[in-house]
Amino acid sequence: MATENKVIIVTGGGSGIGRESAYKLAEQGNTIVIADFNEAGAKETVAQIEKSGGKATSYKLDVSKAEEVEALINFTVETYGTLNGIFNNAGIGLVKPFLEMDPASYHKVIDVDQHSVYYGMYYAAKKMVEIGAKGVFVNTASIYGTMAAKGSFNYNAAKAAVVMMSKSAALELAEHGIRVNGVAPGFIDTPILGEDKEMKDYLAAQHMHNRLIQPQQVAEVVAFLFSDAASAINGQTVPVDDGFLSFK
């Protein structure tokens, strides 16, 4: 199943889903570029990959800046000679009621969670077509890309866009040998949830097994989508939600 000897970028690879996906992809024999605004986190991910015998390097950037994403793509190809895929995973949340969702709050999430996915796919695809490389893109959407949640107007809008951008890009890039899919995680057990046990228990109860989903569980799906075993899956966003969207 594994896709070996590929060069893959993982944005937001300094923690959580990005980090675990980088570990899994490196374990399968791929070279990983860990791109994150959190430079220390990215370097820690690289250190763990190298400790396990894998190949990786870190790269600091702000994914909301088009020119920085373009520079990331160029750096990767200049360093490794090719590019075979990108996991557009970096994202943020900013919960506010709609009537308090001022333009600055709206654009802060849209720029990171939506526009960065476009930048990643656009600049990666341009470069891959230029050098004749084929590969796979995977984008992190969310369960809230297909259903609404109070206080998340900006996040809902961004993640819904990621679902459709994955479909649209898949349609246009298929002729160039590039597959595009997404993952839609449920509630993931990462530090972003904080230490409020009552809240974490509430979120866990939204899943069929009444427990939070581990980042490693999402990473398994991400690695599968990058693999040749998923060659017939294209333009899809796969829920990793322990049944949330099936009964909510």
Residues annotated as catalytic are: 155
Q: How far apart are CA 173 and CA 190, in angstroms?
A: 33
Supply angle C-alpha 138, 141, 145, rounded to 5.
Answer: 150
DSSP 13: T
Q: Is the dihedral of CA 97, 90, 48, 75 positive or negative?
A: negative
Question: Are 215 and 240 a contacting pair, CB within 8 Å?
Answer: no
Q: How far apart are CA 73 and CA 75, in angstroms?
A: 5
3-state secondary structure of 125: helix
